[in-house]
Amino acid sequence: MLIIPAIDLKDGAVVRFVQGKFSKKVYSKDPVKVARHWVSQGAKFLHVVDLDGAFSGIPKNLKLVKDIARGVSVPVEFGGGVRNLEAIKNILKIGVARVVLGTKAVEDATFLKKAFLKFKEKIIVAVDAKKGKVMVKGWKAGYKNTDAFKFCLFLKQAGFKELIYTDTLKDGTLSGPNIKEIKKLLKITGIKVIASGGISKLADLDKLKRLENEGLSAVIVGKALYEGRFTLPEALKFS
């Protein structure tokens, strides 16, 4: 089980939101330094999100993303406002290993299929769910009452082997992950899942680790690390 530190960017700084809302807290104004710190602590992969891009539909922090990708020795995945094939190509060119798709992947099945044919494992879809429904546009809206599990099944049928699944009501709350929902998702879809949202303590990682044989491949950890609930080396003991 891969432990992946999250780096959320807004206005050029590293921040954390709560349930995607604007009550942000700034943790650093030097995202590259943060990225290097996590790598020095043992991170093997980094998850970078452009929150400005997620809300506006156009990536806004690509220079920083380029500096992060080229400034560390581990793969970096990036998402936030990526809505066309050209953007994916350009983001991969700056050194990003994998591009995360969200809103556009949900809204446009034709685009998603074209993207998968062209980029294969260099893209991954983030399924952001609220009460079982898919959220889009920085989690501000649901999309046509789309069932999250059915969308995950569609991704599997389209050829994807792995996806990122976030319970948006858990994200940034330090209230623990939705273990029951993750177990159900793994059972129903049979697709590899990167879990995100709500990690608060090492015991949460222990519970998720037990789902590894069922298909849980990784966990994205954000606020718990930034708030010092545990250290990355402590978390990596569950990898």
Mind telling me the catalytic residues? 8, 128
Distance CA 183, CA 156 (A): 17
- C-beta separation of 71 from 35 below 8 A: yes
Quick one: CA torsion of 3, 18, 54, 15, rounded to 10 degrees?
A: -70
Helix (H) or strand (E) holding 119: helix 109-119
Distance CA 47, CA 95 (A): 13
DSSP state of 19: T
DSSP state of 190: -
In total, the chain counts a number of residues equal to: 239
Distance CA 220, CA 48 (A): 10
Q: At what angle do helices 148-158 and 109-119 cross, to 10 degrees?
A: 40
Handedness of CA 80, 198, 186, 121 (dihedral sign): positive
Tokens found for residue 131: 């009460």
Tokens found for residue 174: 């330090």
Distance CA 111, CA 104 (A): 8
Q: Which residues contact residue 116 at a Cβ distance below 8 angstroms, ignoring those fewer than 6 apart?
A: 123, 158, 159, 160
